[in-house]
């Protein structure tokens, strides 16, 4: 297979016979929903390829190639009357330089639109009576000239806008005058609002018949609404839930093909599926569709690496997705944002919203977010949370979609709680000692001496029962080694925490780590805080209340260990099991079960 990693040109993919997972079945729905549409998806989620597919479907210049481009795709069985009917104009605002002042950015916007119109002239030169005259200082006038030039040719214009919010979001999040520059872009005289006013006017009988806009968030559209209040946000439309992203069935088919190509057994495809489901799956954009989608960029990255080397990629996080950590950091810096980021890591208390907010005026974001639901919705639009389900009260629950994104949250919390170079080096060392040597003591010392003191404040403190679990997740998460599983169903119970060694690393001496965790209030020991701090761990373990908790945890571990081997008989477990008791946010006591 030719894996088109990094390619979003539909024409090249189809011409060269590259892998293409058919999304043409969405074309009819897009046409019927409206003429001016806004479609939002996370970064690197296939939006540009979707635009390119629409471009090739509607372009009058591609009419003679319709059969070769679409002949074996879903739309070929029943194409719409509008196929190959339009002139296509395409803008991509990701190429606009977001640095500099408002005048510099405005010149960049006008320059890009003029370049697009110049390309339009070259593309359709055989249909145009003359080249379109450009106004270097006013691209809207150039657009008017374009519409005038095609007005008598019998074919309307379709405008496709890619990454409409890219440079504005970059300006907004800039630490240097970002807010001021953003205001200048979207206010009544700003280039963005002026531009979209022109688009709206052009769609009112001047020859611009359809507009399809893609981006990540509705922030910019919210702030220019008075200039462009005609776009319908179709991001959560049930008929378009799978317009971007891959389904489980599609992923499994490709996994089997690559395993066969590499002359690997079918079990290799299953192992790939387990990794990809944990790290790349989980996105859901509407309650009307239960399918959890796979991130397409990450999937293509995985397949490209696997097919080339017949080995799974060592690093499951494609560097092109790492920019999402900046989105999490950005929200964390907003008022109350850090608390929302911390809560997102808590699987037992999911974030809930009555409905996803779509009105994100920049003033509310930067100065006074109205509530946690507002920030949670923003994280959802940015692709680092996703729709999970509904509560009994019909509220939406949101969760981190997969392990790749969870790792970015973990990194953010580590940056917040650990003090740079020395802390990070020590964290890595104590985690390595536990994972490779089975020694819990260095990790326990680090948690008591450094981590509990950092986590014990009102902005970062979770409910006490979860503090230890979140601490271990933050300190032991390592995508190069493990699949972390929280609250894994084992029989009639749920294990607190399991770090399962990746299937492609079963040959290493790494331990699988199974934890049963308990929290005890210091008052239950009958000792003062000072006495607890001085008492050796061996003596703490003999306190009746502590011993009882350890015994209970050990019994649960024995049950979970048995069930784990029964439920996953094909896994060659190398289990190290730990009963760990946290006495307040100060002391740890543990008991290791015999190695299995």
Higher pLDDT, 187 or 353: 353
Q: pLDDT at residue 432 above 60?
A: yes
- Min mean pLDDT across 288-302, 312-326, 436-450, 565-579 is at 312-326
Whether 590 has a pLDDT exceeding 80, the answer reads yes
Q: How would residue 460 be classed by pLDDT, with cut points 50, 70 and 90?
A: low
What is the pLDDT, as a whole number, of residue 549? 95
pLDDT interval class at 579 (50, 70, 90)? very high
Return the percentage of the chain with pLDDT > 70, whole number: 95
Question: Taking a C-beta distance cutoff of 8 angstroms, is the pair 60, 128 a contact?
Answer: no
pLDDT classification of 358: cutoffs 50, 70, 90: confident
Instruction: Determine contact, residues 132/144, Cβ cutoff 8 Å.
Output: no
Q: Pull the structure tokens for residue 278.
A: 């944990």
Q: Looking at the predicted structure, is the pLDDT value of residue 457 above 60?
A: no
418 has a pLDDT exceeding 70: yes
Q: Is the pLDDT of residue 462 over 60?
A: no
CATH 3.40.50 fits 10-240, yes or no: yes
Tokens of 169: 């979001």
217 has a pLDDT exceeding 90: no
pLDDT of residue 413: 84
pTM of the predicted structure, to 2 decimals: 0.90
Q: Where are the domains of the chain?
A: 10-240, 248-320, 322-399, 430-592
Across the range 390-409, mean pLDDT stands at 91
Intra-chain end-to-end CA distance of the chain, in Å:
42
Say if residue 287's pLDDT is above 80: yes
Cα–Cα distance between 486 and 478 in angstroms, integer? 14
At 50, list the tokens: 């979707």
Q: What mean pLDDT is predicted for residues 14-37?
A: 96
Does an H or E element contain 145, and which? helix 139-150
Among 88-92, 187-191, 344-348, 459-463, the range scoring the smallest mean pLDDT is: 459-463
* Residue 458 confidence class, pLDDT cut points 50, 70, 90: very low
Mean pLDDT of the chain: 90
Q: What is the DSSP letter of 470?
A: H
């Amino acid at each position: 297979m030719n894996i088109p990693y990094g390619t979003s040109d539909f024409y090249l993919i189809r011409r060269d016979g590259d892998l293409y997972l058919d999304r043409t079945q969405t074309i009819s729905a897009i046409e019927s929903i409206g003429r001016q549409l806004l479609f939002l998806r996370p970064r690197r989620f296939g939006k540009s390829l979707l635009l390119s597919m629409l471009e090739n479907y509607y372009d009058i210049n591609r009419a003679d190639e319709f059969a070769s481009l679409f002949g074996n795709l879903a739309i070929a069985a029943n194409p719409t009357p509008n196929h190959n009917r339009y002139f296509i104009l395409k803008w991509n605002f990701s190429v606009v330089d977001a640095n500099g002042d408002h005048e510099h950015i405005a010149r960049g916007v006008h320059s890009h639109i003029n370049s697009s119109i110049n390309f339009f002239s070259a593309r359709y030169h055989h249909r145009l009576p003359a080249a379109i005259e450009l106004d270097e200082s006013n691209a809207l006038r150039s657009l008017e000239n374009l519409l005038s030039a095609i007005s008598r040719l019998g074919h309307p214009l379709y405008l496709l806008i890619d990454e409409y919010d890219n440079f504005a979001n970059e300006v907004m999040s800039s630490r240097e005058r970002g807010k001021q520059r953003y205001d200048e872009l979207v206010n009544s005289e700003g280039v963005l609002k002026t531009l979209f006013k022109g688009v709206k006017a052009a769609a009112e009988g001047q020859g611009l018949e359809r507009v399809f806009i893609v981006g990540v968030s509705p922030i910019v559209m919210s702030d220019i609404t008075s200039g462009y209040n005609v776009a319908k946000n179709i991001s959560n439309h049930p008929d378009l839930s799978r317009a971007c992203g891959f389904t489980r069935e599609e992923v499994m088919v490709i996994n089997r093909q690559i395993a066969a190509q590499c002359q690997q057994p079918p079990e290799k495809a299953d192992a790939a599926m387990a990794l990809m489901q944990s790290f790349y799956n989980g996105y859901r954009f509407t309650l009307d569709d239960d399918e959890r989608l796979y991130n397409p960029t990450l999937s293509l990255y995985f397949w490209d690496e696997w097919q080339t080397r017949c080995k799974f990629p060592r690093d499951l996080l494609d560097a092109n997705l790492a920019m999402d950590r900046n989105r999490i950091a950005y929200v964390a810096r907003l008022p109350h944002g850090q608390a929302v980021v911390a809560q997102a890591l808590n699987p037992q208390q999911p974030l809930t919203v009555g409905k996803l907010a779509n009105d994100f005026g920049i003033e509310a974001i930067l100065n006074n977010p109205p509530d946690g639901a507002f920030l949670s919705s923003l994280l959802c639009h940015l692709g680092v949370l996703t729709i999970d389900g509904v509560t009994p009260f019909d509220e939406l629950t949101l969760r981190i979609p997969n392990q790749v994104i969870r790792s970015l949250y973990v990194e953010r919390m580590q940056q917040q709680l650990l003090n740079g170079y020395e802390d990070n080096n020590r964290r890595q060392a104590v985690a390595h000692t536990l994972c490779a040597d089975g020694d819990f003591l260095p990790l326990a010392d680090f948690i008591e001496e450094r981590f509990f003191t950092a986590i014990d404040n009102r902005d970062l403190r979770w409910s006490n029962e979860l503090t230890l679990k979140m601490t271990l997740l933050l300190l032991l998460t390592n995508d190069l080694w493990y699949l972390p599983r929280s609250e894994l169903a084992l029989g009639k119970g749920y294990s607190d925490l399991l770090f399962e060694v990746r299937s492609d690393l079963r040959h290493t001496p790494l331990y699988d780590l199974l934890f049963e965790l308990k929290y005890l209030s210091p008052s239950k020991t009958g000792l003062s805080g000072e006495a607890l701090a001085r008492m050796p761990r061996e003596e703490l373990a003999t306190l009746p209340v502590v011993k009882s908790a350890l015994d209970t945890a050990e019994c649960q571990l024995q049950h979970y260990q048995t069930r784990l081997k029964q439920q996953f008989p094909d896994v060659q477990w190398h289990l190290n099991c730990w009963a760990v008791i946290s006495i307040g946010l100060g002391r740890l006591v543990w008991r290791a079960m015999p190695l299995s």
